[in-house]
Structure 1
Amino acid sequence: MLIAIVAIFFLIFISALDWKKSVVFVLVFIILEGVARKWILPQASNLIYFVKDLVLIGAYIKYFLIEGKKIKKHNINIFIYLLAIWSFVQAFNPSLGSYIVGLFGLKTYLLYIPIFWILPDLFTSKIDLYKFIRNYSLLVIPVCLLAVAQFFSPPSSPLNVYASGVDVVATFGVGKEQIVRVSGTFSYITGFGTYLSVSLALLIPLLTLRQSRIWYCLTIIELLLVLGTSFMTGSRAVVLYEALFLISYIFILSLTHLNQAPRIIKKFIIPTIVAAMVVPTYFSKSINLLSQRSTSNSAEGTARIWRPFAEAASGINYIIQSKQIDSYGTGATHQATSFLRKLLDLPQGEPMPLLEVEPPRVAAEIGVIGFISWYLIRISLIIYLLLTLIKLRDPFLYQLALSAFLFHALQITIPVIFNPYMGIYYWFFAGFILLLPALEKREQETF
């Protein structure tokens, strides 16, 4: 325990030396975290899970305490403060059995929010942001190639494991043909699906940007890998999101730039033709398997679309009846809570119903007041991303705002609190509300 405490403080100290490098490290580390958890140090899988959080804490200490920078002013802060206050109150809920569980639960709600405020200072110019996105997207190539290797490897292959050490991995197919649903470098399928959704949102704006031939070709290759391996995840939600994203993106971009519509469409013609030729040819097996899965379980697929709404209604109703405006406490339903109780020998909390989707879990943990605060934040961020989109004039920044808007809007029911990868990316894209207008203003002042 002493060694662990020393290691924690050392990691926070190192991270506090340069907050910018620490934030970038976290964005890269979440892609490679699963490599360490699944193959390098599987025995320390649960401890590696917390590395990104400790690094972010160090970055925040440097930014807010040592450098003395203040929280950026924005109307959304009102809802954030309300969520923070109520979550903190619920962290000491007696139903948890231990306030340590509650304090741990706070991180799932609040730890990634400061990314929203510090993003304008992370990138100093439009070129700086472009280079980050361009270089960050290069990781798509090795990650997706690993996913391809997993797809064509048997379920028993060392490539196909989860961070939990469970021998049985998810597959799809019929009869003897059981093909692995790939997870890439991520600990589980959900993380990889999140990464593919993020990568698509970052890559599409690069297609219309004037780049050198090598970078343009790399962008198309990365995009093809993202689209192809999305079918290999076996996730209908990921494929549906990508289809809606692409259709919505091109439609909105053409509609808001009618005089430039022919040029915009021309920019997408070559990538579309290449994708139409390559993806069905080289990823046909995964497309067929996902199609079979969708057809055979069409009723289940439809049910999943409405499930968050139906379970949210019933779950919230149950919480209100059993707890009124109170709850079971912050962190009560988190997947890592059982590990924390076992590690620190903490008492068990009050028994509660089994909940799977995020909305009722949020209501169960932080009550009706916290639930309303959280979803007011989610809805408000979509509105402010749309307002940011309308105000921007720079073509590249406009398209990034469009990507961020669609990323938030199309995934309004997707878990954020209980998916740390989505949590980090969610607030990264939310930060575009502050970042993109600031970059456009700096560009205007420069010229």
Structure 2
Amino acid sequence: MLYNSPALASKVNTNIKYIKYFIWLYLVLLIFEGALRKWIAPQLSAPLLVIRDPLIIGIFLLAYKNNLFPKDIFTRSIILLGFVSFLGGLFTVITADSSLTVTLFGLRTNFLHLPLIFLIPKVFNIEDVKKIGWWLLVLAIPMTILMVIQFNSPSDAFINTVAGGEGKQIDSAMGKIRPPGTFSFITGAVQYFALVTSFVLYGLIQSKTYPTWLLTATGLSLVVAVVSSGSRSAIASIATVIISLFVAMLSRPQLAIKSYRLLVVIIIVSVGLRFVPSFNEAVEILDTRIDSANTAEARSGGPLGRFLASFSEPFQNLDAVPFLGHGLGMGTNAGSALIIGKAEFLLAEGEWARIILESGFLLGLLFIVWRIALMCWMGKVCVECAAKGNILPLLLFGSSALLILNGQFGQPTTLGFTVFGSGICLAACRTNIPKYAK
């Protein structure tokens, strides 16, 4: 952009700085809003659920004012789809049992945050992403300590309360809960440590941005956090990042030669784990949790069968789904709380099924296709970057790809990590993004 007036150019640059600060604040709130809802202000748990919404609206208004709001095909199409879906939701308000409040929440859930994916790379570059990575790596250490304390505490201890200050966290096995760290539930910790894994691998294999001591300490914390989590999703999320690393090495085989730092850190971490209190107990509990879950899901094909079923389930019994669905927002936990007074899955637990049942086959399918297209396009861009020597985007893509595909947007933390992770993924490869997406 060119500005004839130096004063105008200075004002725009200042506004860009504010946008960057607000995006940083978005990340801070994403990580710590669970702590606010559980421990600091549990009486405000419900409004804190959407604490990032006013912030993101302000970011968009400031971006629009300075001609920075994204105009790419993905942003334009999701805004159009959001508008049409809202009209469909209004129709269900008039003709069915939905409500305007629930419809507005559904609009916010499916569409409000998504343009931030394409705004972040307009104001951030790879150096900004590296700074974000540094803070995520540092924070992983106290986050793990907190999770270990939660793991070793009774399930009804204050530190293990849920949002609102009442109740306890999700059970794991052998009387232990799944420790969520600062997040409301374990899903937040899972998604956070997937991002951390991306930066650990990047620092060990390609970049010298982060000191070896930090990468070693974070690597040790990462293993302890995953084992203590009692979550199969934690293992799967780390695995997808590791798979993205293998793809990067296939795109640029010489990276394998630079893996010696990774091997050294793996050896140090393996030795260090022997001195971590209760680590062996955590391993035993995780094994028990995995065995019991696999046994319970044996008839449905195990974890893989359950995963694949989430993609086929939405297209069963379509003749029973109204053309415009049952109502935008009805499938979210917050929507059910507004309708029946308690949080549960009124329509379906799976994300694709929720989308179809809320918006109907046509609009729901269009939203699903949009998410598939975004994932495929981002994957292509990131592989191209890896082939040119920059593997950070592909590693970050590994942490967010499945969230883009079928992450549960009804969970604000999952929505936040999908948007933020995808945004910094694109920011890490900004110079390689096609012109229409700049």
Q: What's the TM-score once normalised by structure 2's chain length?
A: 0.83
Instruction: Report if aligned partners of 1:16, 1:59 keep a CA contact under 8 Å in 2.
Output: no
Q: Are 2:379 and 1:380 aligned?
A: no
Can you give the 5+ residue segments of structure 1 that lack an aligned partner in the other structure?
1-14, 442-447
Whether 1:169 and 2:161 are equivalent positions in the alignment is: no
Partners of 2:133 and 2:237 in 1: CA distance: 21
Corresponding position of 1:323? 321
Q: Superposition pairs for residues 164-313 of structure 1, below 5 Å?
A: 164-174=164-174, 178-211=175-208, 215-246=211-242, 248-263=243-258, 265-279=259-273, 282=276, 283-301=279-297, 302-310=301-309, 313=312
Amino acid at match of 1:254: M
Per the alignment, do residues 281 and 172 of structure 1 end up closer, same or farther by CA in structure 2, a change over 3 Å counting? farther
Is contact 2:121–2:430 with CA below 8 Å preserved after alignment?
yes
Q: Which amino acid aligns with 1:97?
A: S
Equivalent in the alignment of 2:55: 55
Is the CA contact 2:352–2:406 (under 8 Å) kept in the aligned structure 1?
no
Shift in alpha-carbon separation, 1:126–1:241, aligned structure 2, 3 A: closer
Question: What is the one-letter code of the residue matched to 1:422?
Answer: T
1:357 pairs with 2:355: no
Question: In the alignment, residue 427 of structure 2 is paired with which amino acid?
Answer: L
* Residue 420 of structure 1 pairs with residue 421 of structure 2: no
- For residue 215 of structure 1, report the CA deviation from its aligned partner: 2.9
**What secondary structure does 2:320 align onto?**
helix
Query: Does the C-alpha gap of structure 1 residues 257 and 357 become closer, same or farther in structure 2, counting only changes over 3 Å?
Result: same
Change (3 A) 1:189 1:432: closer
Q: In the aligned structure 2, how far is the partner of 1:250 from the partner of 1:228?
A: 21
Residues paired across the two proteins, number: 409
Q: Distance in 1 between matches of 2:431 and 2:311?
A: 39
Q: Which runs of 4+ in 1 moved over 6 A?
A: 393-396
Q: CA deviation at 1:205?
A: 1.2
Which has the higher mean CA deviation after the structures are superposed, 430-439 or 331-340?
430-439
Over 3 Å counting, the alpha-carbon distance change for 1:326 and 1:316 in structure 2 is farther
Deviation at 1:81, TM superposition (A): 4.2
Aligned to 1:130: 130
Q: CA separation of 1:219/1:330 partners in 2, compared to 1, >3 Å: closer, same or farther?
A: same
- Closer, same or farther in 2 for the Cα pair 1:262/1:312, shift >3 Å? closer
Q: 1:257 & 1:16 partners in 2: Cα distance?
A: 35
CA displacement, residues 188-231 of structure 1 (integer Å, 9 cap, x when unaligned): 1222222222222233212224437x733112212221221112
State the alpha-carbon separation in 2 of the partners of residues 195 and 260 from structure 1: 25
**Matches of 1:395 and 1:272, distance apart in 2:** 27
The answer (yes or no) to whether the contact 1:79–1:376 under 8 Å persists in 2 is: no
Give the CA RMSD over aligned residues: 3.0
Work out whether residues 38 and 165 of structure 1, in 8 Å CA contact, stay in contact via their aligned partners in 2. Answer: yes
Amino acid at match of 1:188: F
Q: Note if contact 2:171-2:178 (Cα within 8 Å) is conserved in structure 1.
A: yes
Match of 1:399 among 391, 415, 421: 391
Change (3 A) 1:70 1:29: closer
The verdict on how the C-alpha distance between 1:281 and 1:87 changes in structure 2, with shifts beyond 3 A counting, is farther
Q: Are 2:351 and 2:407, in contact at CA under 8 Å, matched by a contact in 1?
A: yes
Looking at structure 2, the residues matched to 134 and 208 of structure 1 have their Cα atoms a distance apart, in angstroms, of 16
Q: Which amino acid aligns with 2:253?
A: L
Distance 1:321 1:43, change over 3 A: same
Distance of aligned partners of 1:273 and 1:96 in 2 relative to their CA distance in 1, 3 Å threshold: farther
CA–CA separation in structure 2 for the residues paired with 1:242 and 1:324: 38
Q: Is the 8 A contact 2:44 2:164 kept in 1?
A: no
Aligned partners of 1:191, 1:171: CA distance in 2, in Å? 16
2:4 match: none
* 1:330-377 residue CA offsets vs partner (Å, 9 max, x unmatched): 10121112444589xxxx9xxx96422211111111111232222222
Aligned with 1:254: secondary structure?
A: helix
Change (3 A) 1:216 1:414: farther
Task: Flag the 1:331–1:308 CA change in 2: closer, same or farther, 3 A.
Answer: farther
- Percent identity reads 24
Which residue of the partner structure matches residue 118 of structure 1? 119
Alignment deviations for residues 357-407 of structure 1 (CA, whole Å, 9 cap, x no partner) = 2111111111112322222222222221232124326977x2122113323
Q: Tell me which amino acid in the other structure corresponds to 1:336.
A: A
Unmatched 5+ stretches in structure 2: 1-14, 434-438
C-alpha change, 1:89 and 1:171, in structure 2 (3 Å) is: same
Structure 1 position 56, deviation (Å): 1.1
The answer (yes or no) to whether the contact 1:150–1:159 under 8 Å persists in 2 is: yes
Equivalent residue, structure 2, for 1:85: 83
Name the CA shift for 1:96/1:114 in 2 (closer, same or farther; >3 Å).
farther
Looking at structure 2, the residues matched to 111 and 24 of structure 1 have their Cα atoms a distance apart, in angstroms, of: 18
Contact 1:254 1:261 in 2 (8 A): yes
Tell me by how many angstroms 1:179 deviates: 2.0
TM-score by length of 1: 0.82
Q: Which amino acid aligns with 2:119?
A: I
